[in-house]
A = this chain, B = another copy of it.
Amino acid sequence: MMNVDKLYDNAARNGVVCLGLDTSAAYIPEGFLAGFNTVGEAVFEFNRKIIDATCDAVACYKVQIAYYEAMGLEGLAAYSKTLKYIKSAGQLAIADVKRGDIKETAAMYAKAHYSGDFEADFVTLNPYMGMDTLEPFEPYFAEGKGCFALVRTSNAGARDIQYLSADGGRRVYEIVGEKLKALGEKHMGARGYSAVGAVVGATNAEEGATLREKLSTTFFLIPGFGAQGGRGADAAVYLRDNNGGTVNSSRAVLTRWKKHEDGAARFDSYARAEVLDMREQIVVTSY
């Protein structure tokens, strides 16, 4: 069974939330942090408690490697342990690494993030260098792994390149989306979606319906919800039958405890509460 099929089934069973474990030390209650010898250990144990409290309520987890790289080798050990823990909990992990490089190098990235210490079920990829940079990932798609390549991101600067009108009047992101769909059709799963997903930001919903229609076999990873300003209605336009996409929230979930007087002691329960609230917002507004 391909990972994109498992993701589809998870979304159907648990809802479409993708919980982003972009864990900064600043998100961890001081008292909890103080209980560990290293920040890396505290980050992993914080993640573990969040995963335990949410694994039946999310479609998958996304781990943003930048937060771990910023802690150096110790952080990457916590990154590796977090990925392994997600797997042991029977859940799916997206390695948010946004890699993209020439073939020989891309083959190294595929090996790095689909096997060994940093093995994940999906990786995010940056296609700016061209479609040949995705080729080394294809043998892994055949084994069930998946990816989400950047199409239209949630930041303001997305307009600088992705929105340029290019050959034939189409925008750059539309051209990228079509190329990804074509590649994905070589790697179709059993639920109507391919191993080649796309990152489409929830903060610009106007083109959402068109993208959903055109990229009919593309599973979406939808960032920008919560702290980045996206709302449930913005995210819902990218879904079909309340599936076909997973909506990410990171900071809003990890730091929900800060809004509550007893938050520090119950950060995991509050993370779950935020996931459930978010799930309800997206479902309600999509009907």
> Contact residues of A with B, CB < 8 Å?
22, 24, 64, 66-67, 69-73, 76-77, 80, 98-106, 108-109, 111-113, 116-118, 126-133, 150, 153-162, 164-167, 172, 175-176, 179, 223, 228, 251
Question: Contact between A155 and B130 (Cβ–Cβ < 8 Å)?
Answer: yes
19 contacts between A and B (CB under 8 A): A64-B101, A64-B105, A66-B108, A70-B111, A72-B112, A98-B99, A100-B126, A100-B128, A102-B228, A128-B150, A129-B150, A129-B153, A129-B162, A130-B153, A130-B162, A131-B160, A161-B172, A164-B166, A164-B172
Q: Of the candidates B102, B118, B172, which one forms a contact with A155 in the assembled complex, judged by CB atoms under 8 Å apart? A: B102
Question: Contact between A66 and B133 (Cβ–Cβ < 8 Å)?
Answer: no
Task: Report chain B residues within 8 Å CB of A155.
Answer: 102-103, 129-130, 132-133
Distance to closest chain B CB from A121 (angstroms): 17
Q: Of the candidates B64, B73, B99, B165, which one forms a contact with A76 in the assembled complex, judged by CB atoms under 8 Å apart? A: B73
A76 vs B228: C-alpha distance when bound (angstroms): 31
Question: Contact between B132 and A156 (Cβ–Cβ < 8 Å)?
Answer: yes
Task: Report chain B residues within 8 Å CB of A104.
Answer: 22, 251
Q: Of the candidates B111, B118, B158, B175, which one forms a contact with A161 in the assembled complex, judged by CB atoms under 8 Å apart? A: B175
Question: Contact between A66 and B131 (Cβ–Cβ < 8 Å)?
Answer: no
Task: Report chain B residues within 8 Å CB of A113.
Answer: 69
A98 vs B102: C-alpha distance when bound (angstroms): 11
Question: Contact between A160 and B179 (Cβ–Cβ < 8 Å)?
Answer: yes
Question: Contact between B158 and A130 (Cβ–Cβ < 8 Å)?
Answer: yes
Question: Contact between B66 and A112 (Cβ–Cβ < 8 Å)?
Answer: yes
The winner among A66, A158, A175 for most chain B CB atoms within 10 A is: A66
The winner among A76, A113, A127, A223 for most chain B CB atoms within 10 A is: A76
A251 vs B108: C-alpha distance when bound (angstroms): 14
A98 vs B162: C-alpha distance when bound (angstroms): 18
Q: Of the candidates B69, B108, B126, B162, which one forms a contact with A70 in the assembled complex, judged by CB atoms under 8 Å apart? A: B108
Task: Report chain B residues within 8 Å CB of A228.
Answer: 102
In the complex, the chain B residue whose C-beta lies closest to that of A134 is B157
A272 vs B59: C-alpha distance when bound (angstroms): 52
Question: Contact between A80 and B70 (Cβ–Cβ < 8 Å)?
Answer: no
Distance to closest chain B CB from A120 (angstroms): 12
